[in-house]
Amino acid sequence: LQDKLTMIQKIIITPGIRTTHYNVTRNIYLEPRVSAIYVISEQLKLKAAWGKYNQFATRVIREDIMQGSRDFWILADDEQIPISTATHYIGGISYETKHYLFDIELYHKPMEGLTEYTSRFVPNGFGPGSTLNYEEFFYNGRGVARGLEILAQKKSGALTGWIGYTLGKVKHQFD
């Protein structure tokens, strides 16, 4: 569900909500979101957005010091493999004319329910009588992504196109 509200011809607010029924957990997940635009002039706009998002197919980072990165995807069960969640915070400014668009956005995205699989640690040892429980190789964590995105677009004339640049930093933490 989504709506678009205009207030005093200067503020445009777009609230929305998405729901997902996930068969594996038999739960319903709500994903609220809202975006806002403040029109300074016909060409210049400030914008902001917030939203909560879930991901049920989880990319598991498989860290293996002998073979390198061998990531794989798995469906979350919210027990051993948690459902990944992220909250997005975005703010920016755009300047647009008939021929050009310039856009800058900053983003901050805290994440929960990240999963890593590693065989670096062997909980029950090696040798005769030792056992390996592969479930013990899954570690759950959290992270944050932050960054800046810049876009310049030429929209008309014989030569059109755009160029974009993203500067980002992502940090994950596993206990």
Summarised one tens digit per residue, pLDDT across range 125-136 is 555 665 555 556
CA dihedral 101, 106, 112, 117 (to 10 degrees): 80
CB atoms within 10 A of CB 69: 8
Establish how many alpha carbons lie within 13 A of residue 102's alpha carbon, considering only the half-sphere containing its beta carbon.
Answer: 4
* CA–CA dist 166, 171 (Å, integer): 16
Question: Which DSSP string corresponds to 12-33?
Answer: EEEEEEEEEEETTTTEEEEEEE
C-alpha angle with apex 107: 106 to 108, nearest 5 degrees? Answer: 140
Mean per-residue pLDDT of the chain: 88
* CA–CA dist 91, 98 (Å, integer): 23
C-alpha angle with apex 69: 77 to 79, nearest 5 degrees? Answer: 15
Residues 6+ apart with CB under 8 A from 28: 19, 20, 21, 22
Q: What is the pTM of this model?
A: 0.80
Summarised one tens digit per residue, pLDDT across range 40-84 is 999 999 999 999 999 999 877 666 666 666 777 889 998 888 999
pLDDT recorded at residue 128: 61
* CA–CA dist 125, 7 (Å, integer): 65
